[in-house]
Structure 1
Amino acid sequence: MEAVWLQHYPRGVPAEVDIFRFASLKDMLEQSCGRFRERPAFTNMGVTLSYGELDRLSRDFGAYLQQVAGLRKGERVAIMLPNLLQYPVVLFGALRAGMVVVNVNPLYTARELQHQLADSGAVAVVVLENFAHTLQEVVAATAVRHVITTRVGDLFPPVKACLVNFVIKRIKRMVPRWSLPGAVAFNTALKLGARHTLSDVPLTHADIAFLQYTGGTTGVAKGAMLTHGNLLANVEQTSAWIGGTLKEGEEVIITPLPLYHIFALTANLLLFVKWGANDVLITNPRDIPRFVRELRNTRFTAIVGVNTLFNMLLNAPGFDKVKQANAGALKVAVAGGMAVQRAVAERWQQTMGVALIEGYGLTEASPIVCANPLDAKAFSGKIGMPIPSTRVTMRDEAGRELPLGEEGELCVQGPQVMRGYWNMPEETARVLGTDGWLRTGDMGVMDAHGVIRFIDRCKDVIVVSGFKVYPNEVEEVVMMHPGVKEVGAVGVPDEKSGAAVKVFVVKKDAALTAAAVIAHCKANLTAYKVPKQVEFRDKLPKSAIGKILRRELKQEHAASASAAPRACDA
């Protein structure tokens, strides 16, 4: 397909970018730390690390991994942290030491955590002590031999650190009891590392930087192998797209999305480190009153989030004062991870005076594929055009390219596309094929200007607040309950999260209740995967070969939505 979008690119955006500007992510960080040494790099709970401090601390942590823990190039280091100052220190320390980063959702259940640690072969993990009890349950069944624990305030000034850590542990009681013999405290690791030299590890674009876990386009979580070249390409591609709007060394970006998620990892952390920005980390965006206070007290120039987050902010008491406090500083508001609702986008623009710019991406593409122009005057309802050095086509089920205007599966080719899935050659071949085009599993249509409209997820993927939920995994967990005979999981509309999980259950035990099903799921699934509704049935619709027809379940739910509810909400 001809790259028709190039004729309609925003002024100054090139068709191609120089993906070899930096040799590795380590090189990019070190150059930024040199150029912006005195500038603020990361801020959290009122405490700021400069680029110079980030350079020193990440060097110390990298030296600890190399010289004290004895890790070698290519070994995997898991990071199980929310948005704290420790996160970029650990991330860049591991990368500078030549390790591969495995991002872990700290809210994972023991089952989910064990799968990811075991599958990745991680030999070290850095965990916030609030979640150490989960690690305690599974660490013996993994290859992990080095555990580093940290507390929320560990990188705060001494007095504030003591106060914050005391309140969290003793007053709020947010740290369940845990025992991990041999675990090393984060600050101890930094002190030990400071006594050693960080050995320079030659890294190239071909070296793996992250095993970023995702469900791929279907199935259980898989580790997408994202190389230094993949991430650097996506940073350069996105930099070219935003180049006419932002200025190096001057921006302040608000980061409420978790850095362990690929969207925030690239669009917030890596991109804005390259630009020498101050990244304001929001540890708990669900604490809306505190989040709004942070926004009122910060003259931020950019914010990246998902539809549900923007909607929560708009409905929060006191948010109307954010625009006044911001005093016109905001330049860019970007939404991704899930479809943006027009009502939210229009209300955001009315409130903040800046359009909500929608883009599209996925883990396997590091993640950014398409974006709308940053100077857009209004919400378009589309996901924009392919970014520089990226090609997109729509294909049918047989893999044939479709003409403009026809709906098909969105397929991507570019330097940001992953190498493949970790230890899963068959799944890699299914998704990438012999031609290297990534089959995204998403449906779309491209118009004559190269602008793409997103239609829906292929098959049955449920997107809850920007996170993918896979029915197979939910069904597998529900079937683990001894009182369940059969189950089908689907996504249903939800005002807060865009979609929610609903399960249809055939009982094995007549005494089984919806509350019991939900409690079982809460013990084995991350919160956003837990069903909000349970409906009991005598039987489930099936195909001729016995496959449960989720499509019919969704249709039946929609048809009965206006009738008396049969479902039990969590």
Structure 2
Amino acid sequence: MTSFSSGPAAAPTRIHQLLDSWVHTQPHALALQDPGLALSYLALKEASESAARQLADLQVRAGDRVLVVGENCAAIGVLVLALSRLDAWSIVVNARLSEREIDTFIAHSGARRVIYTCHVSADAQKHAQRHGALAQSWGEIGTLWVGALAREVQPEPCSPEARDQVASMIYTSGTSGAPKGVMLTHANLMFAAASARDIRGLGPGDLIYGVLPMAHVVGLSTQFLGCIASGAALQLEPRFSPAALAQALAQQGVTAFVGVPAMFAKLLDWAREQGQALQAPALRFACVVGSPLTPSLKAAVEVALGQPLHNGYGLTETAPTVAQTRIEAPRRDCTVGFPLPGVQTRIVDAGAGAEPAAGGVGELWVRGPNLMKGYYRNEALTREVVNEEGWFNTGDMARRDADGALHIVGRSKELIIRSGFNVYPVEVEQALNSHPAVVQSAVVGRTVEHNEEVVAFVELVSDAQPGEEAMREYLRERLSPYKVPSEIRFLAQLPAAPTGKILKSELKTLALQGRTPL
């Protein structure tokens, strides 16, 4: 177990040590709460130490991977810090994922144990039951379900260096449809946490409303660890509700909220439906992440909340933040702001191999202490996206203002971002193509206000008529809810080039001409 230092001067080398200075200076200040549990900084430290001992009793070793299946709750935060104490890797996954996805992550990671937060998630309960997990008391954080020990798996090598030791692994689907396990080191996550603290001006007395899933990088690094690095308090919610957010802003003293654009749009819709103005007397920082911000949404939110709506940009591979607008200098446009101090960016004209002229568009490349260690068990893919000089090709298209602010103008990959979640078309296509009535399929994104939708085009075998809803039900058994297409359109034949390659450009045009989404 990693040694604990109570002195405020020790430089942290592990994410759990972000607690140390606050345990020393404000032990009884609120650190973490969910609807059923509140933990002070001292209580969080003690709970994570107790959980680390329990994990060790469950034969979790340094270098082991441990999957946590659940939804936002204080227990997940405790487990992440406890696993850090053991030098084990935490892998938080959303319980709302399909059986296939959860099982794929367990197999790919070689998880030593799987733990389920069934007390906040009926979906976690279903996964726990089908895996034969058993309920176990975990002291102050309550009852968690624990899966069987995978005796055959081997631990990964460990390092005392924060830049080398993996703290967490986050899964994101790849363009091949296979899972990508993004290895984030302690140094990666502590850099992201400190950057969130400094750029957003977070500190003791702040209350952060945390509805972004901790299974995703923003929820884990800048929301949870950013809070712990700041001495602030984090209010965790398992799922987003505009009514709950409105109530928290109005009555609970929330000072900071980060969400995807769709959350802000739904908050405004709720207020209109209720016929009442939003109240946020303590709010001083609001920011969008995960999807493009539109000028109309930015303007509407700023009027409704009486605060600037900030913007940022990042990826799972960059832990996540690359750029962020500055709290002391809010922007009127929709730029994602300036690169974080210590993060280098360059824009590359793919054809010329050099940065285009001022204002020109090219691929965005990133290098810095936020960059992942690599993709787990996939060195070839890591080398494909990170060159020998340490530059990571984001696959996104960007331009730079004269003052250095970045604008993301598109994606060179086929990635669809739906309500902040990444959807790779090939994964949906693979699920569609597994249906016996499907000859082939193609999936594209369709931009709607503040969001993107998934649209599928399907070519059926002769005389097959499964129907759209039946096809959607088939996909629900194989995909996460956010990956299930908003519209499924059946065509006699998909448009194709002479080579047989499906012409997705034509399908994108058809998608824009589509009927009103379901």
TM-score (norm 1): 0.81
The change in CA–CA distance for 1:61 and 1:203 in structure 2 (over 3 A counts) is farther
2: distance between equivalents of 1:149 and 1:545? Answer: 55
Q: What's the CA shift for 1:181?
A: 7.9
The change in CA–CA distance for 1:274 and 1:65 in structure 2 (over 3 A counts) is same
Q: What amino acid is aligned across from residue 504 of structure 1 in structure 2? A: F
Task: Describe the superposition over 1:298-335 as per-residue Cα deviations: whole angstroms up to 9, x where unpaired.
Answer: 11111111100011112214595542xx43x2111111
- The equivalent residue for 1:381 is 334
2: distance between equivalents of 1:27 and 1:180? Answer: 26
- The equivalent residue for 1:518 is 472
Q: What's the CA shift for 1:32?
A: 3.1
- The equivalent residue for 1:56 is 46
For the 8 Å contact 1:491–1:501, the answer to whether it is kept is yes
For the 8 Å contact 2:310–2:330, the answer to whether it is kept is no
Q: What amino acid is aligned across from residue 206 of structure 1 in structure 2? A: D
The one of 26, 29, 41 aligned to 2:19: 29
- The equivalent residue for 1:416 is 370
Q: What's the CA shift for 1:151?
A: 10
Unmatched segments (≥5 aa) in structure 1: 1-19, 141-146, 166-178, 184-200
Task: Describe the superposition over 1:144-192 as per-residue Cα deviations: whole angstroms up to 9, x where unpaired.
Answer: xxx5658999848xxxx9xxx9xxxxxxxxxxxxx98869xxxxxxxxx
The one of 9, 30, 38 aligned to 1:40: 30
Instruction: Determine if the alignment matches structure 1 residue 134 to structure 2 residue 133.
Output: no
Q: What's the CA shift for 1:54?
A: 0.5
- The equivalent residue for 1:83 is 72
2: distance between equivalents of 1:515 and 1:151? Answer: 42
Q: What's the CA shift for 1:426?
A: 1.0
The one of 195, 213, 216 aligned to 2:171: 213
1: distance between equivalents of 2:134 and 2:370? Answer: 31
Q: What's the CA shift for 1:410?
A: 0.7
The change in CA–CA distance for 1:27 and 1:417 in structure 2 (over 3 A counts) is same
Identity of aligned residues (%): 29
The change in CA–CA distance for 1:229 and 1:180 in structure 2 (over 3 A counts) is closer
1: distance between equivalents of 2:127 and 2:456? Answer: 26
- The equivalent residue for 1:488 is 442
Secondary structure of the corresponding residue to residue 315 of structure 1: helix
2: distance between equivalents of 1:206 and 1:31? Answer: 24
- The equivalent residue for 1:120 is 109
Secondary structure of the corresponding residue to residue 270 of structure 2: coil
The one of 168, 189, 196 aligned to 1:231: 189
- The equivalent residue for 2:155 is none
Q: What's the CA shift for 1:236?
A: 2.8
For the 8 Å contact 2:443–2:454, the answer to whether it is kept is yes
Instruction: Determine if the alignment matches structure 1 residue 103 to structure 2 residue 92.
Output: yes
2: distance between equivalents of 1:219 and 1:268? Answer: 28
Q: What's the CA shift for 1:203?
A: 5.9
Secondary structure of the corresponding residue to residue 436 of structure 1: coil
Q: What's the CA shift for 1:366?
A: 0.4
For the aligned residue pairs, the C-alpha RMSD in angstroms reads 2.7
For the 8 Å contact 2:113–2:147, the answer to whether it is kept is no
For the 8 Å contact 2:116–2:146, the answer to whether it is kept is no
Q: What's the CA shift for 1:37?
A: 1.0
Q: What amino acid is aligned across from residue 69 of structure 1 in structure 2? A: L
Task: Describe the superposition over 1:122-163 as per-residue Cα deviations: whole angstroms up to 9, x where unpaired.
Answer: 1111213322323544x49xxxxxx5658999848xxxx9xx
Instruction: Determine if the alignment matches structure 1 residue 433 to structure 2 residue 387.
Output: yes
For the 8 Å contact 2:443–2:457, the answer to whether it is kept is yes
The one of 479, 485, 488 aligned to 1:531: 485
Secondary structure of the corresponding residue to residue 55 of structure 1: helix
Unmatched segments (≥5 aa) in structure 2: 1-9, 150-158
The change in CA–CA distance for 1:500 and 1:116 in structure 2 (over 3 A counts) is same
TM-score (norm 2): 0.89
For the 8 Å contact 1:282–1:291, the answer to whether it is kept is no
- The equivalent residue for 1:171 is none
Q: What amino acid is aligned across from residue 261 of structure 1 in structure 2? A: H
